[in-house]
Amino acid sequence: MNMLHRLLSPAWAALFAVPLVAGAETTPVRSAPISGIRYEVTFDATTAPSRTLRVGMTFDVTGPGPVLLSLPAWTPGAYEISNFARWVSNFGATAGGKALTWDKLDPDTWRLRADGARNVTVSFDYLADSLDNAIAWARGNFVFFNGTNIFLYPEGRPMEFASTVTVKTDPSWLVTTGMTPAGAARTYKASSFHDLVDMPFFVGQYDVDSTQIANKTVRMASWPKGSLQGAARTLFWDHQKKVLPAMGAVFNDMPFDTYTTFIVFDSTSGGGSALEHQNSHVGIYTPLLVESVLFPSITAHEMIHAWNVKRLRPADMVPYRYAQPQPTTWLWVSEGITDYYSDVVLARAGIIDTTGFVLLTGGKIDEVDALPPVALEDASLSTWIHPTDGTGYIYYQKGSLAGLLLDISIRDATDNKKSLDDVFRDLYQSAYKQKFTGFTAEQWWGAVSRAAGGKSFDDFNAKYIDGREPFPYETVLPLAGFRIKVDTIREPRLGVSSAPDSSGVRVAEVQAGSPADAAGIRVGDYLLQVGEIPVRDPSFGEQFRTRYARASGTNLPVKVRRGEQTVDLQIAIRLAERMERRLILDPAASEKAVRIRNGILKGTSQ
C-alpha cells in the first residue's frame, strides 16, 4: 500500500492517495478482524548484547480472511519516512503450536493465513541500533524504543482498539513509560493505537526520579546513570516547577496525569534533538547542552507540544496515518509557534529575563535573514523531503517570529486585552476538547481575527505565510517596545574566501580589486600568516578583524604557501562597511507598547 506513495513525491502522494488505492484495487485492503491484542517486549541481559528487542503479539482472529499486520512507516513529530519494518528479522506466526503461512503484502505489511485458527501469536526481533529519538537504540544494559517501531496494527481496521503491553526484563532493571499501568507487573494498557505508539519506553539501568507539580506526577529519566546529577538535576526540577504552571495557563488546561522527560546523553552528538509525545518527550543531547539555555529551551518546546500538536493540531494531521507521509502547511504553527511559546514561558516563569528573550528572538531573525526567502507554508510542506538549500526547518524560527508578530498585532488591536494565548485557548476548546477535528485555515484565521476584535489578517496571511515577503518588523515590533537597530560596522577585510582542507587553509576565491588581489594572493594559495596572526583555522578571520580593527592604511606582511614555495607578500589594510541588524528594546517605547511587551513576557492582559 505505501510503495506507490513512496515512488511519488509526498505532495503527489497526499493528493492521490485515496483515488490511487481505491482505483487500483477492487476491494479495500482490510485485515480479518482481530481482538484481545496483547504485546510483549523482551529486553534483558541475554538480548542486550545483540541490541535486540524480542517482540511478541497475541490476538484472537474473529472473522474470515487473511490477517494483515502493518508497522508504521514514521513516528508522528519526526516528519520523514523511516519504514521501521527495515529493522525486523526472524518474523514468525503460530497458532495452537503450529507455524502459520505468511508473506509480505507490501514492505510494511505482513499477510498471515490464519486458516481458521482462533488464537494467533506473532513474534519477531527488532534491531535497536538507531540513535534517533523516533526509533530504537540499545547499549549495554539499556534500551529506548518507540511504539511505532514495533507494534503491529491490523490493516484497514479502526485504530481505536484497546491493547496491553508487557515488558520482560531483568528483575533489577527499570521500566518507564507514559502508558497507564494495567495492574500486572510491568504491564500497561492503551485504549487506541494512537495512544499506544505515542508513549515511548526506557528499559534497563538509568536514573529516574519524580515529583508532584500542579497535582501531576512529573518524572525525569536519564541515561547513562549519573549523567545528570547534583546541581544540574536540581536546576531541572526548579525549572519544571516554574514552566509547567506557565504552560497550563496559556492553554487553560493540564491534559495529562503524568509527564515524563526522557533523556539520552550522547557525547558524539554535536547538539541535541528531542521528540514530543502526549505525556512525555525523548531528548538525545550532548552532555554539554545541560550547561546552556538550550536545555530549558528545548525542554519547554517539547512540553508545549503536549498541548500544541499532540492535542491541538492541524486537521491535515487528524488522525495520524502511519503508512504514508502526511504533509501539512501548518508546521509554522505546530513547530514555529511552539518555539515562540517556549521563549515566552521561559520568560513568564522567570527562567530568562527580557534581555534573554531579546537575544533568543534576535537569533531567530538572524537565522531567517541568512537563508533565501521561503514561504512558511512551503517550508512546512517540504520538510518531508529534507530540502538541501537550508530552508527545510526554517518554519521553526520564522514561524516563531510569525507568532510574535501575530501576538503583538492582536494585543495592539485590543489594547492588550487579548493575545495569541486567546487564539490557542479558543482553538484548543473547539478543535480538540469539544470535538477532536483539528483546526482548518478558516478556524485558525477566524480565531486570530476574533481575538483581534474582528481585524482581518488576510493580507498578513497572503504576504507573510503563503507569500515570501520580508516580515514587517519595522512597523510591528515597535508596537511592543521592540525595535530593529541597524548598525554600520566598519572592519578590515582581506577580500578572500578560504576553506580548510587536509593541507591547511586554502584560498578559494579572491575578490577583484580587494587588498588580497592587490597583494598578489591567488586562488589555491595556502594562507600561513597574516600580520601577527598564524592561520591555522577558518576562525582566523575573526582574529584578524579584531586585531587590525583600527589599522586602516597600514601594510602587513602575509606569508602563503604556493605549490612547494613559501611566498612573502605585503597587504594594505582597508576597512569595509557592512550592515548588522540587531533586535533591541525600544528606548522610546510608548506606555501602551511597554504594557504589550510586559503582556507577552509576563502573561498579563491589561
d(CA 71, CA 53): 15
In the range 394-423, which residues lie near Zn ion by CB under 5 A?
none
**Grid cell locating 436:** 477532536
343 is an interface residue for Zn ion by CB under 5 A: no
Quick note: the x/- pattern for Zn ion over 344-363, rule CB under 5 A, is --------------------
Which residues in 279-293 are b (16+ Cβ under 10 Å) and which e?
bbbbbbbbeebbeee
Quick note: the x/- pattern for Zn ion over 291-330, rule CB under 5 A, is ----------------------------------------
Which of 79, 482 has the CB closer to Zn ion? 79
Residue 305 CB, shortest distance to Zn ion, in Å, is 5
Residue 188 CB, shortest distance to Zn ion, in Å, is 25
Which of 298, 507 has the CB closer to Zn ion? 298
Q: SS3 of 174, please?
A: strand
Residue 104 CB, shortest distance to Zn ion, in Å, is 34
CB 410 within 8 A of CB 422: yes
Quick note: the x/- pattern for Zn ion over 474-513, rule CB under 5 A, is ----------------------------------------
Strand partners, 584: 483
Which of 121, 273 has the CB closer to Zn ion? 273
d(CA 506, CA 48): 47
Region from 19-27, 334-342, 483-491, 581-589 binding Zn ion, contact rule CB under 5 A: 334-342
Region from 96-104, 226-234, 333-341, 513-521 binding Zn ion, contact rule CB under 5 A: 333-341
Question: What angle, rounded to 10 degrees, do the helices at 591-602 and 338-348 form?
Answer: 100
Residue 244 CB, shortest distance to Zn ion, in Å, is 17
Residue 272 CB, shortest distance to Zn ion, in Å, is 12
Which of 335, 412 has the CB closer to Zn ion? 335
Which of 301, 418 has the CB closer to Zn ion? 301
Residue 10 CB, shortest distance to Zn ion, in Å, is 19
Residue 267 CB, shortest distance to Zn ion, in Å, is 24
Residue 300 CB, shortest distance to Zn ion, in Å, is 11
Which of 335, 421 has the CB closer to Zn ion? 335
Which of 256, 457 has the CB closer to Zn ion? 256
Q: Residue of minimal CB distance from Zn ion?
A: 335
Which of 195, 335 has the CB closer to Zn ion? 335
**89 class by beta-carbon count within 10 Å (0-12 exposed, 13-18 middle, 19+ buried):** exposed
Which of 305, 418 has the CB closer to Zn ion? 305
CB 476 within 8 A of CB 409: yes
Quick note: the x/- pattern for Zn ion over 25-64, rule CB under 5 A, is ----------------------------------------
Among 335, 407, 422, 586, binds Zn ion (CB under 5 A): 335
Residue 79 CB, shortest distance to Zn ion, in Å, is 10
Residue 129 CB, shortest distance to Zn ion, in Å, is 25
Those residues whose C-beta lies under 8 Å from the C-beta of residue 7, and which sit 6 or more positions away, are none
Question: What angle, rounded to 10 degrees, do the helices at 420-428 and 441-451 form?
Answer: 130
Region from 39-47, 279-287, 332-340, 594-602 binding Zn ion, contact rule CB under 5 A: 332-340
Work out the widest C-alpha separation in the chain, in whole angstroms.
92
In the range 177-196, which residues lie near Zn ion by CB under 5 A?
none
3-state helix, strand and coil shares in percent for the chain, rounded to the nearest 5: 35, 30, 35
Q: Which of 345, 343, 39 is nearest to 167 (CA)?
A: 39
CB 38 within 8 A of CB 119: no
Strand partners, 41: 55, 167
Which of 83, 273 has the CB closer to Zn ion? 273
Residue 282 CB, shortest distance to Zn ion, in Å, is 12
Region from 244-252, 291-299, 335-343, 431-439 binding Zn ion, contact rule CB under 5 A: 335-343
Residue 348 CB, shortest distance to Zn ion, in Å, is 19
Q: Which of 112, 65, 55, 62 is nearest to 88 (CA)?
A: 55
Strand partners, 34: 61
CB 77 within 8 A of CB 275: yes
Which of 155, 302 has the CB closer to Zn ion? 302
Which of 335, 525 has the CB closer to Zn ion? 335
Strands 258-265 and 280-285, by their bridges, are parallel
What is the DSSP annotation of 124-160? EEEE-B--STTS-EEETTEEEE-HHHH--EETTS-S-
Residue 274 CB, shortest distance to Zn ion, in Å, is 8
Quick note: the x/- pattern for Zn ion over 527-566, rule CB under 5 A, is ----------------------------------------
Size of the site for Zn ion (CB under 5 A): 1
Region from 331-339, 356-364, 470-478, 551-559 binding Zn ion, contact rule CB under 5 A: 331-339
d(CA 594, CA 417): 14
Conformational region of residue 226, where left means phi above 0, alpha means psi within -120 to 50, and beta covers everything else:
left
Conformational region of residue 456, where left means phi above 0, alpha means psi within -120 to 50, and beta covers everything else:
beta
Residue 338 CB, shortest distance to Zn ion, in Å, is 5
Residue 446 CB, shortest distance to Zn ion, in Å, is 25
Which of 163, 326 has the CB closer to Zn ion? 326
Residue 218, CA distances (Å) to 204, 235, 528, 542 in order:
20, 15, 56, 45
Which of 53, 304 has the CB closer to Zn ion? 304
Q: Residue with C-alpha cell 508596537?
A: 479
CB 100 within 8 A of CB 93: yes
d(CA 31, CA 157): 7
CB 122 within 8 A of CB 112: yes
- Chain positions contacting Zn ion, by CB under 5 A: 335
